[in-house]
Amino acid sequence: MHSVLLAVQVVIALSILNVWLLRRSQPSPWRGGNSATLREEFAVYGLGPVVMTAVGVLKVTAAVALLAGVWMKDLARPAAFVLALFMLAAVVMHVRVGDPAKKSLPAATLLTLCVCVGWLSS
């Protein structure tokens, strides 16, 4: 079970880092509305660049903390719960702008995984 939990931590963290550091300017079928970039997606949600930057810094920091939590166990639980809150907000935003349920699937999956990691981490 411990190995699975660690693997899930890594998957969550790498997923967040991929979106925010590598693919932020690339289109994705999961982006809100008809947006092609992360900046456009935040605009669809009615959120400006300052909020996008703040969210990005917090999510990347939490993802790095979740990765570090593989070795420093005390970091895993808080990082997972911080990311869970952001994933819950992402699902809410998708619903708020009327996106089809399919677009919320990655955020909902990560939300579930983050809650599991947070709950099961010691």
Q: What is the pLDDT of residues 107-116, one digit of tens each?
A: 999 999 999 9
Q: What was the pLDDT predicted at 2?
A: 85
Q: What was the pLDDT predicted at 70?
A: 95
Domain assignment of residue 90, given as a range: 2-120
The tens digit of pLDDT for each residue in 52-87 reads: 999 999 999 999 999 999 999 999 999 999 999 999
Task: Give me the percent of the chain exceeding a pLDDT of 70.
Answer: 99
Q: Residue 92's pLDDT band (boundaries 50, 70, 90)?
A: very high
Count: domains in the chain:
1
C-alpha 55/C-alpha 18 separation (Å) is: 15
Contacts of 91 (CB under 8 A, 6+ apart): 104, 107, 108, 111
Is pLDDT of 1 > 80? no
C-alpha 114/C-alpha 49 separation (Å) is: 26
